[in-house]
Structure 1
Amino acid sequence: MNSTDIVWNDEARAKILDDSDRVLREAVLELSKTLEGHESDEAYEQLFARLKDRFIDFKPGPDIRKYADAIVAGDIAE
């Protein structure tokens, strides 16, 4: 077996992605209840803090900024 053959099967891969989407969604929804009208940087920092320890080798990308901006603008609907 080659090292490139060691991968998650499609079912496990889908579950991992679904779980990570759920973690992100829960963080965004929770923060949207308290940070509307605040500074986008504050929402970004709080999102980063909630997500960084939930993922292996977490590196924030533009999605975190997009959701932080939506939180403070009040653009999140449940």
Structure 2
Amino acid sequence: MQSRDISWNDEARAKILEDSDRVLREAVLELAKTSEGRSSDEVYADLISSLKDRFIDFKPGPDIRKYADAIVAGEFSG
């Protein structure tokens, strides 16, 4: 077996992605409840803070900014 042959099977890979999406969704919806009157930069920082310790090698991408902007715009309902 080669090192490149070591990987998660499709079922495990799908579960990892599903769990990751759930963590992101929960963080976004929780901040949407408590971020009225806050700036997008503040919400962005809170999202990063909420997510960074939940993932190995977390690096925020444009999705985090998109969700911070949507929270500030009131696009999510409780």
What's the TM-score once normalised by structure 2's chain length? 0.96
What is the deviation of 1:36? Answer: 2.7
Counterpart mapping for 1:58-69 below 5 A: 58-69=58-69
Distance 1:12 1:47 in 2: 26
What is the deviation of 1:38? Answer: 1.3
**How much is the aligned-residue C-alpha RMSD, in angstroms?**
0.9
Amino acid at match of 1:22: R
Amino acid at match of 1:5: D
Which residue of structure 2 aligns with residue 28 of structure 1? 28
Counterpart mapping for 1:42-57 below 5 A: 42-57=42-57
Aligned length: 78
What's the TM-score once normalised by structure 1's chain length? 0.96
Distance 1:67 1:46 in 2: 11
Determine what percentage of the aligned residue pairs are the same residue. Answer: 77
Which residue of structure 2 aligns with residue 16 of structure 1? 16
Runs of 5+ unmatched residues, structure 1: none
Runs of 5+ unmatched residues, structure 2: none
